């Protein structure tokens, strides 16, 4: 008997909240799994589904604009991962026939802005605050080594 573990994470965003259920799931190989997400305090025009394996970055699986067809990324298909974005609050991803290769963290993310049909979502690193200005080096005393003096023109 082969068991498949899928870890599912919550997706809180800045000022918006998305809940995801179940938080953990174990399935036999070949069984299906429904991952349900809900936009708590906004209308989700666009939903992004990601998968992450241990010690790896997020992989975008698919993008869904409410009321439009789903755009699947390479390696992901509607047959294997059907998505339902039936309204602006509720959306789900089904792992149709779970396989060991599907084990990992699955996340939904949502935006209240719809992406254009040919627009791809982008991820940018968090920007660090600017460093404080460096303290200027002490000046040499007048008549010292001459460093910092302007050269005399003939």
Start-to-end Cα distance in the chain? 92
Phi-psi region of 41 (alpha: psi -120 to 50; beta: other; left: phi over 0): alpha
Model confidence at 47: pLDDT above 60: yes
The answer to whether the Cα torsion of 84, 88, 90, 91 is positive or negative is positive
- The pLDDT of residue 29 is 92
Mean pLDDT along residues 91-120: 81
What is the residue-averaged pLDDT of the chain? 75
Question: Is residue 46 over pLDDT 90?
Answer: no
**Tokens in use for 79?**
């047959």
- Please report the pLDDT score of residue 4 as a whole number: 42
Phi/psi for 43 (5° steps) reads: -100, 120
Domain-wise residue ranges, the chain = 3-111
More confident residue, 132 or 53: 53
User: Between these two residues, 34 and 154, which has the higher pLDDT value?
Assistant: 34
Return the pLDDT at 65.
85
> What kind and span of H or E run contains 3?
strand 3-8
3-111 belongs to which homologous superfamily?
Immunoglobulins (2.60.40.10)
Q: Is the pLDDT of residue 134 over 80?
A: no
């Amino acid at each position: 008997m082969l068991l498949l573990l899928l870890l599912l994470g919550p997706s809180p965003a800045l000022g918006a909240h998305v809940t995801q259920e179940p938080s953990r799931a174990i399935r036999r190989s070949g069984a299906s799994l429904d991952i349900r997400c809900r936009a708590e305090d906004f209308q989700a025009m666009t939903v992004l589904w990601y998968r992450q394996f241990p010690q790896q970055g997020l992989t975008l699986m698919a993008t869904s604009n409410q009321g439009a067809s789903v755009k699947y990324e390479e390696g992901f298909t509607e047959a294997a991962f059907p998505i339902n974005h039936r309204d602006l609050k509720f959306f789900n991803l089904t792992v149709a026939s779970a396989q060991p290769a599907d084990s990992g963290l699955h996340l939904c993310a949502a935006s209240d802005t719809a992406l254009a049909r040919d627009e791809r979502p982008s991820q940018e690193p968090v920007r660090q605050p600017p460093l404080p200005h460096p303290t200027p080096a002490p000046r040499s005393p007048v008549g010292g080594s001459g460093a910092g003096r302007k050269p005399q023109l003939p």
